[in-house]
Amino acid sequence: MGVSSQTSADVFRWFCVESGSADKHPVILIHGFPSQAYSYRKVLPVLSKDYHAITFDWLGFGFSDKPQPGYGFDYTLGEYVSSLESLINELAISKVSLVVQGYFSPVVVKYALSHQEKLNNLILLNPPLTAKHANLPSTLSIFSNFLLGEIFAQDPLRASDKALTSCGPYKMKEDDAMVYRRPYLTSGSSGFALNAISRAMKKELKTYVEDMQMILTDKNWNVQTTVFWGQRDRWLNYDGVEDFCKDSNHKLVELPMAGHHVQEDRGEELGQLISKVISKRSQI
């Protein structure tokens, strides 16, 4: 995917991947729940031609640290907001463009609210925009269960394969599947982290979605925002998305052949579209 490193301003290590010249405008690609930086493997080569493309694994996912709840990180959405601030301060001094997919979109929007001057663009990939999106699908909410959740979260086929393929047309190749499974195969901490974030999402997602709606529709919101929507998403219903973007004056780009994980289904196409959005902003 590119050159990897582990860096953070706090006590935890993040797995990061960088591609392209560091002298160019930074574009940070943020994976959804659940997923990994690996999901952007088709997007990075496209963006790195003109930008400094960076992606990372959230704490608790992939190859980043997975602290036990109660020992410095409890996987609340508020902690993800503050940890994202620490990471971005390490990765980029200048203005950045942020791309985020799925259920971590409200976390990134909450961060962006307090750092509008630092953002050149905000691009949301199948974010939970409406009230109908404020609940986790059963495929994910099961991990918040104190009994079944802890069992299922230790099963790589449920925790990675099913979670990634049940939400759209994505069909994983075995080589790719092994990358997603590896954290669950090598340590039980991945499963415990999945339990913790699932419980936090189930408890806090509704409030964060409501906050994101208010932020993106507020007249003081100054960040150019674009929504990309894979129309074969089995988790998030398209009803209301078009109206939301129209009412909030945010550009909507539809991808008919993509599902919830747009970067998996149409990675190269997505990279080209992101590049066009950012280049237009850079010319303003």
Instruction: Tell me the pLDDT of the chain (284 aa) as tens digits.
Output: 544 444 444 479 999 999 999 999 999 999 999 999 999 999 999 999 999 999 999 999 999 999 988 888 999 999 999 999 999 999 987 899 999 999 999 999 999 999 999 999 999 999 999 999 999 999 999 999 988 999 999 999 999 999 999 999 999 999 999 999 999 999 999 999 999 999 999 999 999 999 999 999 999 999 999 999 999 999 999 999 999 999 999 999 999 999 999 999 999 999 999 999 999 754 43
In 3D, which of 215, 278, 226 has the Cα closest to residue 254? 226
Check the CA dihedral 184-144-34-56 and report its sign.
negative
218: left (phi over 0), alpha (psi -120 to 50) or beta: beta
Q: How many CB atoms lie under 10 A from the CB of residue 154? A: 16
Name the pTM for this structure: 0.94
Q: Which amino acid is at 228?
A: F
20: left (phi over 0), alpha (psi -120 to 50) or beta: left
CB 273 within 8 A of CB 258: no
How far, in whole angstroms, is CA 180 from its chain's centroid? 15
How far, in whole angstroms, is CA 147 from its chain's centroid? 27
